Structure 1
Amino acid sequence: MIWEVFRQERPGEYHAHCGNVHAPDRELARQFAAIQHGRRKPTNSLWVVPRDEIGEIDAEDVAFGGTTDKSYRWATTYSTAGADASEVAESEDDQADAEQRRGES
């Protein structure tokens, strides 16, 4: 049976896949994982999981995505021509004035 091994280097970090071990039961898989993957680098903990228990979702199963254009998060993306954007224009003017004053000193 194949067991996948995930390693955490320091407390609080994510576990990352570091390889697998072949073992007939959970206890031997844990021992093999500790020997093969836990002693090579600093290790805080190991997760040892049967490969059959790991589920996969790929692009054929579901459409991943969403918008990759996140420019809507920035005020500078919006047009300052409208009356609704007057605060943005004032803020940009204030920033330009501050940069100019910094350059003069």
Structure 2
Amino acid sequence: MIWEVFRQEKTGGYHTHCGNVHAPDREMAKQFAAVQHGRRKPTNSLWVVPREEVGEIDGEDVVFGGTTDKSYRWATTYNTTGADAREVAESEDEQATAEKQRGDD
């Protein structure tokens, strides 16, 4: 039987999948997981789960991320040409000119 192993590095941290072990029962799986996956890196705890008990949800089952458009978070979605972009560039030029003039006085 195959058992999937998830490792937590620090208290309060997430458990992340780190591999699997082959064992006939839960107790042996826990022992194998401790030896194979718990000793190599700092480990706070291990979860040992039968492979057939791990469920998967993929993009065909559900749409992840909701339906809210959050493209505004990415700079690539902004239009960097046109009147608005020219206005921003002109404003920056005006500010730079004013700063130079203040420095000359």
Give the structure-1-normalised TM-score: 0.63
Q: Percent identity?
A: 74
Rounded to whole Å, the distance in 2 between the matches of 1:68 and 1:27 is: 47
Rounded to whole Å, the distance in 1 between the matches of 2:69 and 2:19 is: 32
Q: CA deviation at 1:70?
A: 5.8
Deviating above 6 A after TM superposition, structure 1's stretches of 4 or more consecutive aligned residues are none
Residue 17 of structure 1 aligns to a residue whose secondary structure is strand
Residue 17 of structure 2 aligns to a residue whose secondary structure is strand
Q: Deviations over 1:61-100 (max 9, x none)?
A: 122232351649xxxxxxxxxxxxxxxxxxxxxxxxxxx8
Amino acid across the alignment from 1:45: S
Rounded to whole Å, the distance in 1 between the matches of 2:18 and 2:28 is: 17
Map 1:65-80 → 2, pairs under 5 A: 65=65, 66-69=67-70, 71=72
Unaligned residue ranges in structure 2 (runs of 5+):
74-98
Distance 1:53 1:39, change over 3 A: same
Aligned match of 2:43:
43
Residue 20 of structure 2 aligns to a residue whose secondary structure is strand
Give the structure-2-normalised TM-score: 0.63
Distance 1:41 1:61, change over 3 A: same
RMSD: 2.1
Map 1:54-93 → 2, pairs under 5 A: 54-65=54-65, 66-69=67-70, 71=72
Matched residue count = 75
